[in-house]
């Protein structure tokens, strides 16, 4: 968010128009207020799940002890093994829940999810979708999901489809 400017309008996150922020401040703002879940998790397989989550907290300035403690607690809450299993050996659903934990570790006000269930089997997809759509209520943050998955899209409070390059709200 904030990497490509729209042709018109403004984007407000945590009360600031991010389109008006200088690059350095924009990076700080994203780190502080936005969590991102990517389609394939974008985790580092050579790190443990705890290290993959804690690294986001460390980069955000959390003390090392807090970062690791919070990462372990968050992973346990999300049902991800915290010891003994390298990230590269986790199931697809466990990897994606680790990616969600990494996005949540800094307590963002906005959680962005780009095709978060696209690479998962049906059971893992349902588990991750349930988790994602529970996050706003439990963590008091906004959730924006981009997906081609109709079952995931139907879970949203508001839905927009891209039609001919324009966003159109879909009424249920």
Among positive and negative, which fits the CA dihedral 156, 30, 69, 81? positive
Bridge-based pairing of strands 160-163 and 166-169 is antiparallel
Domains and CATH numbers, the chain: 12-169 (3.40.50.300)
pLDDT tens digit string along 72-84? Answer: 999 998 888 888 7
The 8-class DSSP code of residue 90 comes to: S
- The string of DSSP codes covering 102-163 is HHHTT--SEEEEESTTTTS-HHHHHHHHHHHHHHHHHHT-EEEEE-S-HHHHTT-SS-EEEE
Residues 110-145 have pLDDT tens digits of 999 999 888 888 888 888 889 889 989 998 999 999
Helix (H, G, I), strand (E, B) or coil at 74: helix
Angstrom distance (rounded) from CA 33 to CA 150: 28
Separation in Å, CA 76 to CA 30, 84, 109, 134, 169: 26, 13, 22, 16, 37
Whole-model pTM? 0.86
Q: Exposure pattern of 3-42 as b/e (b: 16+ CB <10 Å)?
A: eeeeeeeeeebeeeebeebeeeebeebbeebbbbbbbebe
> Which tens digits make up the pLDDT trace of 38-57?
876 789 988 999 999 999 99
* Tens of pLDDT, residues 5-38: 788 889 999 999 999 999 999 999 998 899 999 8
pLDDT (tens digit per residue) in 97-114: 899 999 999 999 999 999
What φ, ψ does residue 121 adopt, rounded to 5°? -75, 170
């Amino acid at each position: 968010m904030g990497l490509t400017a729209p042709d018109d309008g403004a984007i407000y996150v945590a009360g600031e128009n991010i389109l008006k922020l200088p690059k350095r401040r924009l990076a700080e703002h994203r780190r502080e207020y936005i969590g991102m879940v990517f389609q394939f998790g974008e985790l580092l397989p050579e790190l443990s799940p705890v290290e993959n989550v804690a690294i986001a907290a460390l980069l955000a300035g959390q003390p090392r002890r807090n970062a690791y403690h919070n990462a372990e607690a968050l992973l346990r809450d999300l049902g991800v093994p915290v010891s003994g299993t390298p990230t590269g050996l986790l199931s697809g659903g466990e990897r994606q829940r680790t990616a969600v934990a990494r996005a949540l570790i800094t307590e963002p006000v906005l959680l962005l999810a780009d095709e978060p269930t696209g690479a998962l089997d049906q059971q893992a997809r349902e588990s991750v979708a349930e988790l994602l759509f529970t996050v706003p209520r439990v963590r008091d943050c906004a959730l924006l999901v981009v997906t081609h998955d109709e079952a995931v899209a139907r879970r949203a409070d508001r839905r927009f489809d891209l039609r001919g390059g324009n966003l159109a709200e879909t009424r249920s």
